[in-house]
């Protein structure tokens, strides 16, 4: 592990019945950076992401977070350490308002019961903090709107707000731009940039222009292995990366 790394993997490997989906991956995510995991279809990005977020247990290899071995921990354990996967515990309830959704996430963080029918006075204590997370993701105008009525992009912004309510030190985002309009992509990109000012972000992302715009560092996977690492200018010129994308029909 290097000094500046907040999350590191060494020799990370995942086999599914003899098929090696992730093969001996070494990865260092620098503290404070926006790090993207990219690669053609079937490269092993999702599997790698699931290993790092402890949704899957590796066949072999080790993961450290802040210098601590987290290989054997559960995703709930690592969330308590500040390593939180967006949309992990933060499903959006469509019939509740934006404010109510963020409030519930805050209650969860503080270990309150799920009894959100409790007294209005208690609930109001959470409102100030909830409103500040809502402002952070640009949803103030929609505070009292039912989550189910929001546009797709705003729903994703709300999911990020509920994740921020858990006060993560590092956020893992699984294809944050999937299914978004260009306008939403721009809004969520600005949001990710804003929340990254005092956090570390690792994301799997298919949209290469987003990756080019947002990421400080990129790990390219192909056939389960690390093909290249570096900034966008470096990896996008790498003949191995170009071949892998063209070979996979992304050309």
Ligand X SMILES: Nc1ncnc2c1ncn2[C@@H]1O[C@H](COP(=O)(O)OP(=O)(O)OP(=O)(O)O)[C@@H](O)[C@H]1O
Which residues make up the interface to ligand X (CB under 6 A)? 16, 19, 21, 39, 41-47
Least Å distance, CB 15 to ligand X, is 9
Sheet of strand 68-69, all strands in order from the earlier edge strand to the far edge: 19-30, 5-16, 60-65, 68-69
Classified as helix, coil or strand, 116 is coil
Rounded least distance, CB 50 to ligand X, Å? 8
d(CA 211, CA 201): 12
Give me the count of residues in the chain. Answer: 251
Interaxial angle between packed helices 127-136 and 152-164, expressed in degrees from 0 to 180 and rounded to the nearest 10: 130
- At residue 67's C-alpha, the angle toward residues 64 and 70, to 5°, is 35
Q: Exposed/middle/buried for 138, CB within 10 Å: 0-12, 13-18, 19+?
A: middle
> Between residues 142 and 245, which has the closer beta carbon with respect to ligand X?
245
Within 13 Å of residue 177, how many CA atoms lie on the same side as its CB? 24
Cβ at position 43, least distance to ligand X in Å: 4
Nearest distance from C-beta of residue 37 to ligand X, angstroms: 9
Of 16 and 152, the one with the shorter C-beta distance to ligand X is 16
For residues 67 and 174, what is the distance between their CA atoms, to the nearest angstrom?
A: 24
Residue number, 194 or 250, with CB nearest to ligand X: 250
Of residues 39 and 61, the one with the C-beta less far from ligand X = 39
* Residue among 43 and 92 whose Cβ is closer to ligand X: 43
- Closer CB to ligand X, 43 or 165, in the complex: 43
Q: How far is the CB of 149 from ligand X (least distance, A)?
A: 30
Shortest Cβ 29–ligand X spacing (Å): 18
3-state secondary structure of 176: coil
């Amino acid at each position: 592990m290097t000094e500046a790394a907040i999350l590191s993997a060494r020799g990370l490997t995942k086999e599914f019945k003899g098929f090696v989906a992730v093969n001996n991956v070494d990865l260092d995510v620098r503290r404070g950076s926006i790090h993207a995991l990219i690669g053609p279809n079937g490269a092993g990005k999702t599997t790698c992401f699931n290993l790092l977020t402890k949704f899957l247990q590796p066949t072999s290899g080790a993961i450290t977070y802040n210098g601590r071995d987290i290989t054997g921990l559960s995703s709930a354990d690592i969330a308590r350490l500040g390593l939180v996967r967006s949309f992990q515990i933060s499903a959006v309830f469509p019939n509740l308002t934006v404010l109510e959704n963020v409030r519930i996430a805050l209650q969860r963080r503080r270990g309150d019961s799920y009894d959100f029918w409790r007294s209005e006075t208690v609930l109001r204590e959470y409102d100030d903090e909830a409103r500040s997370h809502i402002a952070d993701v640009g949803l103030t105008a929609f505070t009292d709107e039912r989550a189910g009525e929001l546009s797709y992009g705003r729903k994703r912004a709300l999911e990020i707000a509920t994740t921020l309510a858990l006060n993560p030190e590092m956020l893992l985002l699984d294809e944050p731009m999937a299914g978004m309009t260009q306008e939403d992509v721009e809004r969520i990109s600005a949001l990710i940039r804003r929340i990254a000012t005092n956090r570390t972000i690792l994301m799997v992302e298919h949209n290469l222009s987003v990756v080019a715009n947002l990421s400080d560092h990129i790990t390219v996977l192909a056939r389960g292995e690390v093909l290249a690492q570096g900034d966008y200018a470096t990896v996008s010129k790498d003949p191995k990366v170009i071949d892998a994308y063209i070979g996979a029909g992304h050309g």
